[in-house]
Amino acid sequence: MLNVSNLNKSYQIGKTKYEALKGVSLDVEKGEFVAVMGPSGSGKTTLLNCISCYIPSDSGEIQLGGTDLAKLPEAAIAKVRNEKLGFVFQDFLLLDGLTVRDNIMLPRIIGGQVSASMEQTADRLCEVFGIAHIKNKYPADISGGEKQRTAVARALINSPELILADEPTGNLDSKSSRAVINSFLQAKQELCATIFMVTHDSFAASFCDRVVILQDGAVRRMLSRGEVSRRAFQDELLNVISEMSEVSGQ
């Protein structure tokens, strides 16, 4: 599904060059729910932004379903973003001037795939994520959790191959976080969605099938949940992060 190999990215700030990603390689299988964790500055969001092609990488390959995204022209990348990728952002990025339902339909409208089924799909997603009662409200009138569930529904409207989520629970309270994670799980189970999520939150990551741990721009560990309970997986994650912090002296 998603293959990232030897990905490098650096930033130039003044005269200093910062290497944000140093040869990152990873794979995500279809239907998998993968989280990327790591301390601040480890390159999590940079990795996600490179995969989304929001920022160009310096070198390396990003293949989605066999297509190297980094080599695509601008128009083709836009098409991939619209049809094959779904996005969930930390600060929701909903358009204030559109209702919840309109926001959900936005990727279809942008892609010019307007049909009666679009509205039905949007309504169904509203039902699935428990936001049907607010579908005609504007973002300013709903809670943070509802906004993020709207964003998840929007990410799914085009049945994308991959959902990219950047700290989706970062701005939410625990109840809303749980609701959003449930949305992802529902999407995975009911809609066979593949999800790639960047998070700080070990609780959110503990629901994933696999967790990639980044540090200083490189992949340090990869943990699979397997058959263990969510709580046990969360404890394992916390232990690994703690060990890594001790080694690095943080």
Task: Name the CA dihedral angle for 65, 71, 77, 80, rounded to a multiple of 10 degrees.
Answer: -10
- Nearest residue (CB) to other proteins, 78 versus 240: 78
Q: Is 96 a binder of other proteins (CB under 8 A)? A: yes
Residue of 85, 84, 59 whose CA lies nearest to 71: 59
Residue with tokens 């690095």: 248
Binding residue (CB under 8 A) for other proteins from 30, 71, 79, 133? 79
Contact between 196 and other proteins per CB under 8 A: no
- One character per residue 112-151, x = contact with other proteins (rule: CB under 8 A): x-x-------------------------------------
CB atoms inside a 10 Å sphere around CB 250: 10
Tell me how far, at minimum, the Cβ of 15 lies from other proteins, in Å.
Answer: 16
Q: Show the tokens assigned to 76.
A: 């083709």
Q: Which is nearer to other proteins, 9 or 225 (CB)?
A: 9
The CA radius of gyration of the chain, in Å to the nearest whole number, is 18
- Give the span between the Cα atoms of 184 and 181, in whole angstroms: 5
Interface characters, 37-76, with other proteins (x: CB under 8 A) = ------------x--x-xxx-----------------xx-
The dihedral sign for the CA sequence 159, 163, 169, 174 = positive
Binding site for other proteins (CB under 8 A): 49, 52, 54-56, 74-75, 78-83, 85, 87, 89, 93-98, 102, 105-107, 109-112, 114, 154
